[in-house]
Amino acid sequence: MLAQKKENIKQDTLSLVFVGDLMGHSSQFLYARQAEGGYNFEPYFEMVKPYLSEADFAIGNLETVLAGKTQNYSGYPQFNTPNAYADALKTAGFDLIVTTNNHSYDQLEAGILRTLDELEKRNLTPIGTYRNEKAQDSLVICTKKGISFALLAYTQFSNLPVPTSKKYLVNHIEIEKIEQDIKKARKKGAEIVIIHLHWGQEYQTLPNDYQKETTQAIIAAGADIIIGGHPHVLQPIEKFKTQNGATLDSGLVAYSLGNFISAQYWRYSTAGVMLRLELSKKEGKISLSRLACVPTWVLGGQKYAPLKTYKVYPAGLEARFSQNRPLAHWLTVPFSANLDLLTPALVRDMKEAYQDSQQILALYLKNQVQWDNWLVNPFFQLEPRKPTFNRLTTKQSLTFTEIKPQKQPVFQAFAGKKASKKSKKEKGKQ
């Protein structure tokens, strides 16, 4: 009887894991290129795969397109990434992929359509870009463990203007449309409505006025949860009292989840978070029963160029290294070679990212966040640690909120073709 009771509780708790921006800078695919041809991005996510694959749904923002070889693979400013990137996301455990952002239209309509095709071939559900108006109107409703939710996605920007006649290709932030979509999602049976927004100002660790005003409008429209991206650094998480028929009594906005993987290597841009939300249903009532964060840190970019690789690590690992455990301890850990990459200097960078993340994410939540620990048996046990910092106020100094990124070179890969003169002139810029 006890076992049956536990099983019932388990079935009524839905776990969602959100991560930040999945960038496609050119060094990422150059380092993933295989000697025998092709690309392999899967090692990049080995250390975080347990956290993603364990969740009922793992969601990330794909800030690149899969336009194919005919468009030439490229990084910033007009992204195009090999299909193998999507293979790696699937293997890592992703389920839903947000495709609407300022880079959605980088390779024009053909890039959007081919990205949709490639994601769907791998059973990765794209959210926010569409083939036609009919597809845009048919919202995605996901149901598992007795709970149904809708994920709706919109962007504030498009680097290249989307033709008015084909605005259905990319969902933009329009409050009236979002209100209509929320109502439509409710009619289609969504008990929880989650809004993903690509918004704000890059490299700002606090939300700007546009984000705050948009948040209030979307709360008033009846959203339960709001997840943000685009600033490439973490911004705070804040709870709110829901309105206008929302299901949750207490909703949540995560203004920016930072970079999950990118070639940006200055402080704050190497830090992201795996945000786990647990929704529990008891006697027909759904609540946000748990909020947990695993801060992440990216090894990669020009600062670590000699390593010729990228790795996303749970940033809490640095505490293990600080205990001065012998190397033999790690020989029993899968992917121990990934740990061997971490020199004392890199461990210090990881620790800095972890502390920065705790400081930013807990700004409004105080002690309401659970840190690190949600898996029963990951590759390694990460011991939950409470933030050990002086809490910040919303009146931040300019040195904290206005991060000035260092310039980094643009890598060019043109599938055997020579770079244009313009590309050569831009070498050394990012």
Beta pairing, strands 57-63 & 285-299:
unpaired
> Are 28 and 263 within 8 A, CB to CB?
yes
> Are 254 and 18 within 8 A, CB to CB?
yes
Residue in the block written with tokens 């309105």: 243
Beta-carbon neighbour count of residue 402 at 10 Å?
13
In which band, very low, low, confident or very high, does the pLDDT at 415 lie, cut at 50, 70 and 90? Answer: very low
Whether pLDDT at 196 is above 90: yes
Q: Which amino acid is at 205?
A: T
Among 377, 289, 378, CA closest to 10? 289
How far apart, in whole angstroms, are the C-alpha atoms of residue 330 and residue 332? Answer: 5
Distances (CA, A) of 354 to 142, 191, 342: 32, 34, 15
Q: Report, as an integer, the average pLDDT of 209-216.
A: 97
Residue 288: φ, ψ to 5°: -85, 95
pLDDT tens profile 236-282:
999 999 999 999 999 999 999 999 999 999 999 999 999 999 999 99
Whether pLDDT at 417 is above 90: no
In which band, very low, low, confident or very high, does the pLDDT at 319 lie, cut at 50, 70 and 90? Answer: confident
Q: What is the CATH number of the domain that holds 204?
A: 3.60.21.10
CA pseudo-torsion sign 231, 182, 90, 34: negative
The distance in angstroms from the start CA to the end CA of the chain is: 61
How far apart, in whole angstroms, are the C-alpha atoms of residue 234 and residue 255? Answer: 8
Range of 9's domain? Answer: 1-430
Q: Please tell me the total count of domains within the chain.
A: 1
Beta pairing, strands 147-155 & 141-144:
antiparallel
In which band, very low, low, confident or very high, does the pLDDT at 139 lie, cut at 50, 70 and 90? Answer: very high
pLDDT of residue 377: 63
pLDDT tens profile 140-154:
999 999 999 999 999
Among 306, 322, 324, CA closest to 355? 322
Residue scoring higher pLDDT (231 or 328): 231
In which band, very low, low, confident or very high, does the pLDDT at 37 lie, cut at 50, 70 and 90? Answer: confident
Alpha-helical (H) ranges within 33-140 are 49-53, 84-92, 108-121, 133-137
pLDDT of residue 352: 94
Supply the DSSP string of 195-246, one letter for each residue: EEEE-S-TT-SS--HHHHHHHHHHHHTT-SEEEEESSSSB--EEEEE--TT-
Enumerate residues 6+ apart whose C-beta is below 8 A from 196: 59, 61, 98, 127, 128, 151, 152, 153, 154, 226, 227, 228, 229
pLDDT of residue 365: 85
User: For residue 127, what is the enclosing H or E element?
Assistant: strand 125-127
> Are 85 and 44 within 8 A, CB to CB?
no
**Mean pLDDT value across the chain:** 86
> Are 84 and 64 within 8 A, CB to CB?
no
